[in-house]
Chains A and B, each alone.
Chain A
Amino acid sequence: MVGPFAWFKWEALFRDWTVFAEGFKTTIMVAVLSLALALILGIVFGVLGTSQWKLAKLVSRVYVEFIQNTPLVIQVYFLYHGLPHMDVMIPVFAVGVLGVGVYHGAYIAEVVRAGIDSIHKGQMEAALSQGFSFWGAMRHVILPQASRIVLPPLTNQAVNLIKNTSVLAMVAGGDLMYRADSWSSDNLYYGPAYVAIGLLYLLLCLPLATLTRRLEGKTGVSS
């Protein structure tokens, strides 16, 4: 009887290390690009969520509620399996960036909205009274103050985002999770494959999580 973590299985894994390195690279690239997209969406919809303009508020609300209350897997399936039926073909890498980015954009929008709401409304009034536009006041007065409050929950979102890029495995996305799946389904060496990639995810996430805790200490927010 051969154990799931037999040494020769590890040897096979190290022999094929480039497979995992490729996946690691894809995961990092999807994570970085989707985080950028999520931040843009999160800031825009977060700000809209605090605006006086009712339509903007509604649009922001619909986006946040719709995305937060449906599974990420279904959203990614829609992009990957659904859109081609409407003659929209996007490469699987873009499906990853778009799917994960839009998903976490909704969460970041809520984080940003809460951060802005925590700034006293006198700040916006002071900026407006000086002649700033709404967006100018946001950029130079409100968001710099909100960002200090928002940073810890934001890094927490980045951790979740990295882990959630593994959804790409379900649509043959070439990421770390997918590589482990496909490599081990060929040779049935599941044990080393999943342990190894689990450690790689940990390698990415643990520093961010530590940073989150540090930032919470700095801003006086405790969990």
Chain B
Amino acid sequence: MIQLEGVNKHFGHLHVLKDINLTVKSGEKLVVIGPSGSGKSTLIRCMNLLEKPSSGKVTVDGVDITAHKALVAKVRQSVAMVFQQFNLYPHKTVLENLTLAPMLIKKVPQAEAVKAGLAYLDRVGLKEKANVYPSQLSGGQQQRVAIARALAMRPKIMLFDEPTSALDPEMIQEVLDVMVDLAHEGITMVVVTHEMGFAKTVADRVIFMDDGQIVEENSPQRFFENPTHERTKSFLSRILR
């Protein structure tokens, strides 16, 4: 579904991704963990080309999106992203946030888009907030709306870039619940997170990144119980206290 081959990314003198090779299978739930600055956000942002790799090839759903003149916007329609800072459209109501892209990009008729939008809002438990503006919602509610907005495009792949890192602790669980619920479906998920509990329960595979490289990858069980690499061990001992 997603394939990265020899991907490098430089920001000026910083070498943020170092020759990354990674394949995400259809329906797989992949969790990416690692210390801040390890390149995990850059990695996930290469998967929808919000970051353009300095070299290497990224293939998504059979399309080489790093190719010259690739139809990136077309591919992005089926690759939804949920951001750390939510990035809801503040000038639109909650429901309009969900219907904007389906109506304008996929040309879904308004009545149909509204119906689907309300259904997705219901799913994240926020149907009654359809007509308020994002600024009137709590952080947790905003992120649930952002997930519903992502779902409204009926994506094949969902990318989560630290979706709970900007939330107050008491709001993290409500967002994780929605994500766990999603994971029970066939959708392909790549999740950058510090939530180890989520990784343990949901992931098919966990990769640990440090210093721009994938240091270790394994099933969550073996990853957490039997980490092989020194850097993984020290990271886990710091985070799992």
Contact = CB atoms under 8 A, between A and B. Distances in A.
Interface residues of A, number: 18
A141 interface: yes
Contact of B76 (A122, A130, A140, A145): A130
B76 A131 contact: yes
Contacts of B104: 132, 136, 140
Contacts of A131: 73-74, 76-77, 101, 105, 153
A75 B105 CA distance: 43
B91 interface: yes
Contact of B91 (A122, A127, A144): A144
Given A122-B83, A122-B87, A144-B91, A130 B50 contact: no
A154 interface: no
A130 B80 contact: yes
Nearest to B105: A131
From DSSP, what is the main secondary structure of chain A's interface residues? helix
Contact of B50 (A125, A140, A144, A145): A125
B89 interface: yes
A52 to B, nearest CB: 10
Contacts of A132: 73, 101, 104-105
B91 A129 contact: no
A129 B149 CA distance: 11
A133 B100 CA distance: 14
B73 A141 contact: no
Interface of A: 120, 122-123, 125-133, 136, 140-141, 144-145, 148
